C-alpha cells in the first residue's frame, strides 16, 4: 500500500517534493512538426555526439546540438523554444556533413527556430539584424573604421553591394515585406520582448 | 506406385489452421471452412487450432482414407515452413505427397491485414478457392535421386575454412581446401592475441595449420582460385586455376624427375633476390622479396615467386642449386575436380577507412587501423612487438581508439551494420598497451560497448579496472599537429554533454569490415545470393544459418556476416556437418519440378537451350529428328523454357499450364458465380 508522504510542515513538503522528473512525452506532435519543416528523420538520432564534437559553437558556448536533438525527440517543446542557445548555431553544416545516421541536425535547429519565430520568440540581435538588412542591405553595415581599412588596402570605400548601388534596396525590401519580416521585427522590438 | 487416379473425379479435403491467434485473430476461420465446403470438388472441409501438430496431421491422414481424397489443401502458414510437414501427412494417408497444395493465409494475409478482419477473411477465401482449383488437377510426381560424389570442397583457408576442412576430412571425406594466398591461416594468422582469453593467435592457429597440411584426406591447394563451376548438388565440377608459383614442391619436383629436389623452405633464394616489395601480410609495413613467404609459420612452407615483381635475373635459381625447385617459366595451370558439396569461407577485408575523410587515415602518419595495430604489437611483426608511431618511431603514451569507424553508418560512405568484433579487440588493444608500455593511457571512444559473448562482459570489466579511459562519444574529427605529428581528437563526451579535444600520440581506427574482394566472384560461380551489403545469404537466418538457397553449397565464417573467431569456428563446424550429410547418405532427392519435353510437339528449334540459366537443356537426335532433352538433376524448375516455348512443348511439372490457368480462373471467376 502506498503511503502518502506527510511531513506536516508545508514548507518541508515543498522543499522535499520530487520535482526533478521530466515527462518524456510532453508533446509527441512536436518532433513530427520539426521533421516536416526540417525534412530530416530526426527521430533516428542515436546520440553519438558527432554533431557536438564537430560544432564550432560548442567549445565557445553552452550550445549542445545533440541535446537539442534529444529534447526534440522527447517533445520538450517549451524547453527548446524558450532556450536562448537555440540561436547559437552558425549553420556551418559540419554536423550534417558528418552525422553517421545521415541526418541534418542543422535543419532540425532551423525548423525549431521557425517554430519559435511563429511564437515571436526571437532574440533581439536577430531582430535588429533584420532591421539593418531592411535599411541598408547589410546585416553588418559598412562603418568608418571599415572604410578606412578598405582605403588603406587600395579598395573602394564602399563594397560592390547595396552600399554602392542603393537603387537595388527597394527590390530587397520588397522581398522582406512579402514575408512581413520587418513589420514583425519592429512589432516585437517595440513590445520590448 | 499406387495407380494413378486419372479419370476419377477429384475429391479435395480442405483444412484451415487457426495457428493459435496468428490466423484466427484476424480471419474468421469457421467462415473460411464453411465457404470451402461450397467449392466444387471439395469432399470435406475442417479446421483445427494447430494443423501442424500431431492431431492436426492425423486429421489429414484419416480424412484421406475416410473420404477417398485425391488432393489435400491446407490453409495455414508459408509453404517454406510446413509444406514438408503436410506432404508427409498426405503421404501417411496413402496419397502421393505432391497431391498437396498450401494456401498461405498467415504471412501473406493475417499478419499484414491484422486490422482488417473482413477483408482478410475474404482474401483467405480467395486463397483457398485458388488452392482447391490447383489441387483438383495435381498429379503424382516421383522425386529423383542422384548419387553424391564422396568429396567436398572448401573455398577459403582462414580459420573457418580450415576448421570445416578438418571436420570433413576427419569424417572420412576427401576434401579440397582452396586458398588464393600462398599460405593458409587467413586473417587470424595476422592477429597478435585473441580476446577474451588473451592467448596468442598464431599459437592456437598453427597446430590447426599443421593438421590441415598433414591430414591425408585434405588436398591443400594454395595459391589457387576457383575459375568455373558446373553441375549441381552431389556432382559439382569445379575448375581451379593453380596460379604460377614458380617454385616446385618436393612432390612436384619428383614428378619432373628431380629426385630429392623441390622447395625445403631454406630461404637461400630469398637471401639473394634483389627485388624488394612491401609484404601484404604485414600490410605493407615490412619488406619482402620477389621470391617470398608471408611469415615463418606458413603452411605449406613453399616459397612463391611474385611474377609481377620478378626481374628473372636467375640468382635464386643458382642459389637453389641441386634442389632445382625454382622454375621461372611457370605458367598458370588448370585442373577440374568433382565434389559433392561445397563450403564457402571467403572471409572479409577491411573497409577502406580513408574514405572517411574526417579521421585522416593515410593523411596523418599516426592514424592507423586496428589490423595494423595487431601487426605492430605482435612479437613476430615488423617492429618485433614494439608499438611505435609511424611518424618518428617513438613509443606512444596516449592512444585513442575510435570504435564504430565506418560501422553503424548510414551515410553511404561506410557500412550500416555493426562489425561485431571491434568493441572486443579494441578492449584487448587497450589491455595490450597498458601491459606493454608503462604509463600508457588508452582512450576508448565508443557509442555502445557490445560485449555479447561468453566472458566478454567480464573482459570489459577487467579492462576498465586496468585503467582504460572510456569516453561515450563518436569521434567527430581528427586533426594533426604538423610539427609534433600528434593528433587532436575531437568528440563530445555525451555523458557530460561537453565537447572534447584530446591530444594523443596515436589513433587506432576500429575500421568496419566488408566481404573480401573474392566473395562476389565466388558467390556468382556457385549461384549463392547475397544481401544488400554483400554478405552471403544463408538459407534461413535462424534455422538454416549454414545452408544457402543453392543445394549443396554451405557457408562458414565472416563471408556470411561479421563474426568473431568462436562464432566462425562454430559455424564452420555446422557447415561441415551439413555438407557431410548428403555425402554420407550417398544420394540426394531432388524435388520433381523438372521441365519435361513433350516430344510430339517439340519442333527442335533449340531456343530454350540457350535460355536455360542452369545449362540443363540440350538438343538430341531421336527417331531421326532433333528434340530437346532435360537433364533433370540440373533443372531448377524455374519455368523460363516452359514460358517461352513457342510450341507449348515444355511441361513444367507441378506448375502445368492447366493448373495455372485453373488457378487464374478460380481467382477471376470467383466464388460469386
| pLDDT tens by residue, B487-524 | 999 999 999 999 999 999 999 999 999 999 999 999 99
pLDDT band of B172, cuts 50, 70, 90? very high
The pLDDT of residue A13 is 82
Rounded to a whole number, what is the distance in Å from the CA of A97 to chain B's nearest CA? 9
Query: Is B671 a residue whose pLDDT tops 80?
Result: no
Angle between helices A181-190 and A124-136 (to 10 degrees): 130
Question: B52: Cβ–Cβ under 8 A, 6 or more apart, which residues?
Answer: B17, B76, B82, B85, B86
d(CA A192, CA A124): 9
DSSP B115: T
Partners of residue B417 in chain A, C-beta under 8 Å: none
Residue B34 has pLDDT above 70, yes or no: yes
Chain B hits for A49, Cβ within 8 Å: 472-474, 476, 491-494
Nearest chain B residue to A99, by CA:
B411
CB contact under 8 A, B492 and A66: yes
Chain A contact for B473, CB < 8 A?
A: yes
Cross-chain residue pair B492–A49, CB shorter than 8 Å: yes
Q: Which of B288, B313, B500, B265 is nearest to B382 (CA)?
A: B288
pLDDT at A1: 52
The answer to whether the CB of B328 falls within 8 A of the CB of B138 is no
Segment B120-143 mean pLDDT: 95
> How many distinct helices (H) and strands (E) make up chain A?
11, 0
Q: Which residue of A has its CA nearest to B358?
A: A98
The span from the CA of A111 to the CA of A128, in Å, is 21
CA of B452: how far to CAs of A77, B41, B421, B448, B456, in Å?
37, 56, 10, 11, 6
Of chain B, the percentage scoring pLDDT greater than 70 comes to: 99
Whether the CB of B497 is below 8 Å from some CB of chain A: the reply is yes
* Nearest CB to B499; choose among A46, A47, A52: A52
Relative to beta strand B151-155, strand B341-344 is parallel
Angle value at C-alpha B534, between B530 and B537, nearest 5 degrees: 30
Which residue is it, cell 592456437?
B204
How many angstroms separate the CA of residue A101 from the nearest CA in chain B?
5
**Cα separation, A79 vs B87, whole angstroms:** 63
Distance CA B319, CA B115 (A): 81
The whole-angstrom separation of Cα B307 and Cα A90 is 57
Q: How far is Cα B499 from Cα B493, in angstroms, rounded to an integer?
A: 6
Res. B316: pLDDT tops 60: yes
Residue A140, min C-alpha distance to chain B (Å): 30
Question: Is residue B479 within 8 angstroms of chain A, CB to CB?
Answer: no
Annotate B292-312 with b (16+ C-beta within 10 A) or e (fewer). Answer: bbbbebbbbbbbbbbbeebee
Task: Please indicate if any CB of chain A lies within 8 Å of the CB of B488.
Answer: no
Sequence-separated (6 or more) residues with CB below 8 Å from residue B550: B526, B527, B528
Collapsed DSSP state (helix, strand, coil) of residue B143: coil
Do the Cβ atoms of B43 and B69 come closer than 8 Å? yes
Is the Cβ pair B476, A64 closer than 8 Å?
A: no
pLDDT at B6 over 60: no
Question: A26 CA to chain B: closest CA distance, Å?
Answer: 22
| Angle between helical axes of B422-436 and B370-377 (0-180°, round to 10) | 30
Cβ neighbours of residue B444 closer than 8 Å, sequence gap 6 or more: B401, B403, B426, B427, B430, B468, B469, B470, B471
Return the SS3 of B457.
Answer: helix
Q: Do B494 and A58 touch (CB under 8 A)?
A: no
CA B22 to chain centre: 32
C-alpha cell at B273: 633476390
pLDDT band at B291 (very low <50, low <70, confident <90, very high): very high
Q: Report chain B residues whose CB lies below 8 A from the CB of A99.
A: 411
- Which residues in chain A are contacts of B446 at CB distance < 8 A? none
Residue B539 to chain A, least CA–CA distance (Å): 30
**How far apart are the C-alpha atoms of B346 and B164, rounded to whole Å?**
12
Positive/negative CA dihedral, B523, B529, B531, B535: negative
CB contact under 8 A, B476 and A49: yes
Cβ atoms of A96 and A22 within 8 Å: the answer is no
Facing residue for B492 by CB, picked from A46, A52, A94 = A52
Vertex B467 angle, CA B461 and B468, to 5°: 80
- C-alpha cell recorded at residue B400: 585513442
Size of interface A-B (CB pairs under 8 A): 71
- Could you read off the pLDDT of A51-82 as tens digits, one per residue? 999 999 999 999 999 999 999 999 999 999 99
Q: Is the peptide bond before B199 cis (omega within 30 degrees of 0)?
A: no
Sort out which chain B residues have CB atoms less than 8 A from A46's CB and list them: 408, 447
CA separation for the pair B602, B597 (Å, rounded): 7
Chain B residues near residue A67 by CB distance under 8 angstroms: 497
B673, pLDDT greater than 60: no
pLDDT at B153 over 60: yes
Of B164-178, B290-304, B326-340, B608-622, the poorest mean pLDDT is in B608-622
- Signed CA dihedral, A92, A97, A99, A102: sign only: positive
Name the band, by pLDDT with cuts 50, 70 and 90, for residue B634. confident
Classify residue B438 as left (phi > 0), alpha (psi -120 to 50) or beta: beta
B494 with A50: Cβ contact below 8 A? no
Which residue of A lies nearest to B415 if distances are taken between CA atoms? A100
Of A59, A99, A102, the CB nearest to B499: A59
Give yes or no for residue B7 having a pLDDT over 70: no
Banded model confidence at residue A2, pLDDT cuts 50, 70, 90: low
Task: pLDDT band for B4, please (50, 70, 90 cuts).
Answer: very low
Distance CA B239, CA B242 (A): 10
Contacts of B158 (CB under 8 A, 6+ apart): B184, B185, B186, B187, B188, B345, B347, B557, B568
Phi, psi (5° rounding) for residue A65? -65, -35
Residues of chain A positioned with their CB less than 8 A from the CB of B473: 48-50, 52-53
Cβ neighbours for B437, distance < 8 A, ≥ 6 positions apart: B387, B395, B396, B397
Distances in Å between the alpha carbon of B630 and those of B218, B230, B361, B612?
Answer: 35, 16, 56, 10
Distance CA B475, CA B504 (A): 13
d(CA B161, CA B555): 9
Pick B619 or A191 by higher pLDDT.
Answer: B619
Query: What is the reported pLDDT for A24?
Result: 62
Q: How far apart are CA B272 and CA B228, in angstroms?
A: 38
Instruction: Quote the pLDDT of residue B590.
Output: 84
B356 → chain A, closest CA residue: A98
Backbone angles phi, psi at B79, to 5 degrees: -60, -25
Which residues of chain A lie closer than 8 angstroms to B493, CB-CB?
49
Answer whether A51 sits within 8 Å of B358, measured CB to CB: no
CA distance A72 to A37: 13
Residues of chain B contacting residue A48, judged by C-beta atoms under 8 Å apart: 404, 447, 473-474, 494
Rounded CA separation B96/B115 (Å): 38
Average pLDDT for residues B300-317, to the nearest whole number?
Answer: 96
CB atoms A100 and B404 under 8 Å: yes
Which of the residues B414, B474, B489, B502 would you substitute to probe the A interface, choosing the one with the greatest number of A C-beta atoms within 10 Å?
A: B474
- Of the candidates B358, B414, B494, which has its C-beta nearest A49's C-beta? B494
CA distance B364 to B355: 13
Query: For A67, which residue in chain B has the nearest alpha carbon?
Result: B497
Task: Give the H/E segment covering residue B375.
Answer: helix B370-377
User: What is the value of pTM for the model shown?
Assistant: 0.87
Would you say residue B3 has pLDDT above 90? no
Whether the Cβ atoms of residue B4 and residue B21 lie closer than 8 Å to each other: no
Chain A residues at the B interface, defined by Cβ less than 8 Å, are: 46-55, 58-59, 64, 66-67, 94, 98-102
DSSP one-letter string for B336-358: EEEESEEEE---EEE--GGGSGG
Per-residue CA distances from B257 to B221, B293, B303, B305, B334 (Å): 22, 25, 20, 22, 21
Cβ-defined contacts of B381-388 (< 8 Å, 24+): B381/B192, B381/B282, B381/B285, B381/B286, B382/B282, B382/B285, B382/B286, B385/B192, B385/B436, B387/B433, B387/B436, B387/B437, B387/B506
Test mutation, B499, B509, B510, B512, chain A, max A CBs within 10 A = B499
> In this predicted model, what pLDDT tens digit does every residue of A141-170 receive, in sequence order?
999 999 999 999 999 999 999 999 999 999
**Residue A167: φ, ψ to 5°:** -65, -15
Whole-Å CA distances, B586 to A54, B147, B548: 62, 6, 20
**Chain-chain contact of B490 with A54 (C-beta, under 8 angstroms):** yes
Amino acid at each position: 500500500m502506498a503511503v502518502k508522504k506527510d511531513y506536516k510542515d508545508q514548507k518541508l513538503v515543498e522543499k522535499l517534493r520530487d520535482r526533478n522528473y521530466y515527462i518524456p512525452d510532453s508533446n509527441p506532435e512536436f518532433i513530427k512538426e520539426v521533421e516536416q519543416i526540417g525534412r530530416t528523420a530526426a527521430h533516428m538520432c542515436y546520440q553519438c555526439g558527432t554533431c557536438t564534437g564537430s560544432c564550432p559553437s560548442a567549445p565557445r558556448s553552452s550550445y549542445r546540438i545533440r541535446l537539442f536533438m534529444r529534447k526534440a525527440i522527447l517533445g520538450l517543446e517549451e524547453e527548446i523554444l524558450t532556450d536562448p542557445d537555440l540561436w547559437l548555431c552558425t549553420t556551418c553544416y559540419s554536423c550534417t556533413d558528418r552525422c553517421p545516421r545521415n541526418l541534418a541536425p542543422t535543419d532540425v535547429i532551423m525548423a525549431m527556430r521557425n517554430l519559435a519565430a511563429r511564437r515571436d520568440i526571437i532574440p533581439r540581435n536577430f531582430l535588429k539584424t533584420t532591421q539593418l538588412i531592411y535599411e541598408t542591405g547589410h546585416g553588418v553595415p559598412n562603418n568608418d573604421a571599415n572604410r578606412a581599412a578598405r582605403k588603406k588596402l587600395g579598395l573602394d570605400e564602399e563594397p560592390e553591394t547595396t552600399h554602392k548601388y542603393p537603387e537595388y534596396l527597394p527590390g530587397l525590401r520588397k522581398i522582406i515585406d512579402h514575408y512581413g519580416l520587418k513589420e514583425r521585427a519592429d512589432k516585437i522590438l517595440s513590445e520590448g520582448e | 506406385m499406387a495407380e494413378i487416379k486419372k479419370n476419377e473425379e477429384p475429391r479435395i479435403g480442405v483444412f484451415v489452421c487457426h495457428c493459435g491467434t496468428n490466423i484466427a485473430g484476424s480471419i474468421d476461420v469457421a467462415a473460411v471452412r464453411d465457404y470451402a465446403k461450397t467449392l466444387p470438388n471439395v469432399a470435406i472441409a475442417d479446421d483445427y487450432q494447430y494443423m501442424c501438430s500431431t492431431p492436426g496431421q492425423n486429421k489429414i491422414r484419416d480424412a484421406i482414407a475416410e473420404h477417398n481424397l485425391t488432393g489435400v489443401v491446407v490453409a495455414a502458414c508459408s509453404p517454406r515452413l510446413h509444406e514438408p510437414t503436410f506432404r508427409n501427412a498426405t503421404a501417411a494417408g496413402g496419397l502421393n505427397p505432391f497431391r498437396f497444395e498450401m494456401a498461405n493465409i498467415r504471412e501473406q494475409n493475417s499478419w499484414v491485414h491484422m486490422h482488417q478482419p473482413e477483408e482478410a477473411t475474404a482474401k483467405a477465401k480467395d486463397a483457398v478457392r485458388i488452392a482447391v482449383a490447383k489441387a483438383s488437377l495435381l498429379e503424382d510426381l516421383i522425386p529423383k535421386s542422384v548419387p553424391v560424389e564422396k568429396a567436398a570442397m572448401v573455398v577459403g583457408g582462414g580459420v573457418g575454412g580450415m576448421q570445416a576442412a578438418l571436420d570433413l576430412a576427419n569424417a572420412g571425406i576427401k576434401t579440397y581446401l582452396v586458398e588464393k594466398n600462398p599460405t593458409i591461416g587467413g586473417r587470424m594468422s595476422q592477429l597478435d592475441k585473441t580476446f577474451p582469453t588473451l592467448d596468442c593467435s598464431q599459437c592456437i592457429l598453427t597446430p590447426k595449420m599443421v593438421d590441415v597440411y598433414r591430414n591425408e584426406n585434405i588436398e591443400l591447394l594454395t595459391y589457387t582460385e576457383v575459375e568455373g563451376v558446373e553441375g549441381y548438388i552431389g556432382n559439382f565440377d569445379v575448375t581451379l586455376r593453380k596460379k604460377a608459383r614458380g617454385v616446385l614442391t618436393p612432390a612436384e619436383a619428383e614428378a619432373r624427375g628431380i629426385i630429392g629436389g623441390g622447395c625445403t623452405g631454406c630461404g637461400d633464394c630469398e637471401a639473394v633476390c634483389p627485388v624488394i616489395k612491401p609484404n601484404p601480410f604485414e600490410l605493407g609495413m615490412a619488406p619482402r622479396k620477389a621470391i617470398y613467404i608471408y611469415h615463418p609459420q606458413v603452411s605449406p612452407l613453399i616459397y612463391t615467386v611474385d611474377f609481377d615483381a620478378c626481374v628473372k635475373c636467375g640468382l635464386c635459381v643458382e642459389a637453389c642449386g641441386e634442389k632445382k625447385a625454382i622454375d621461372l617459366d611457370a605458367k598458370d595451370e588448370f585442373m577440374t575436380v568433382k565434389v559433392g558439396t561445397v563450403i564457402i569461407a571467403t572471409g572479409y577485408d577491411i573497409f577502406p577507412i580513408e574514405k572517411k575523410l574526417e579521421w585522416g587515415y593515410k593523411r596523418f602518419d599516426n592514424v592507423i587501423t586496428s589490423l595494423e595495430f595487431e601487426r605492430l604489437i605482435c612479437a613476430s611483426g615488423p617492429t618485433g612487438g614494439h608499438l611505435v608511431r609511424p611518424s618518428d618511431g617513438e613509443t606512444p603514451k596516449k592512444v585513442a581508439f575510435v570504435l564504430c569507424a565506418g560501422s553503424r553508418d548510414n551515410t553511404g560512405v561506410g557500412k550500416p551494420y555493426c562489425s561485431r568484433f571491434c568493441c572486443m579487440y579494441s578492449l584487448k588493444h587497450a589491455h595490450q598497451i597498458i601491459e606493454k608500455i608503462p604509463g600508457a593511457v588508452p582512450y576508448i571512444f565508443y557509442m555502445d560497448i557490445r560485449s555479447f559473448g561468453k566472458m566478454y562482459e567480464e573482459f570489459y570489466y577487467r579492462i576498465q579496472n586496468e585503467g582504460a579511459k572510456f569516453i561515450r562519444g563518436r569521434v567527430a574529427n581528427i586533426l594533426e599537429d604538423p610539427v609534433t605529428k600528434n593528433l587532436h581528437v575531437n568528440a563530445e563526451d555525451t555523458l557530460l554533454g561537453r565537447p572534447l579535444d584530446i591530444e594523443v600520440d596515436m589513433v587506432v581506427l576500429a575500421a568496419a569490415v566488408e566481404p573480401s574482394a573474392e566473395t562476389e566472384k565466388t558467390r556468382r560461380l556457385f549461384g549463392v545470393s547475397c544481401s544488400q551489403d554483400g554478405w552471403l545469404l544463408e538459407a534461413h537466418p535462424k534455422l538454416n544459418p549454414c545452408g544457402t538457397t543453392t543445394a549443396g553449397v554451405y557457408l562458414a565464417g565472416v563471408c556470411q556476416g561479421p563474426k568473431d573467431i568462436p562464432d566462425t569456428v562454430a559455424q564452420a563446424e555446422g557447415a561441415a556437418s551439413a555438407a557431410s550429410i548428403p555425402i554420407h547418405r550417398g544420394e540426394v532427392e531432388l524435388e520433381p519440378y523438372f521441365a519435361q519435353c513433350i516430344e510430339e510437339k517439340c519442333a527442335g528449334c533449340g531456343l530454350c537451350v540457350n535460355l536455360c540459366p542452369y545449362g540443363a537443356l540440350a538438343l538430341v537426335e531421336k527417331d531421326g529428328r532433333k528434340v530437346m532433352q532435360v537433364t533433370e538433376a540440373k533443372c531448377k524448375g524455374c519455368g523460363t523454357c516452359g514460358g517461352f516455348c513457342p510450341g507449348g512443348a515444355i511441361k513444367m511439372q507441378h506448375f502445368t499450364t492447366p493448373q495455372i490457368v485453373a488457378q487464374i480462373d478460380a481467382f477471376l471467376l470467383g466464388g460469386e458465380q
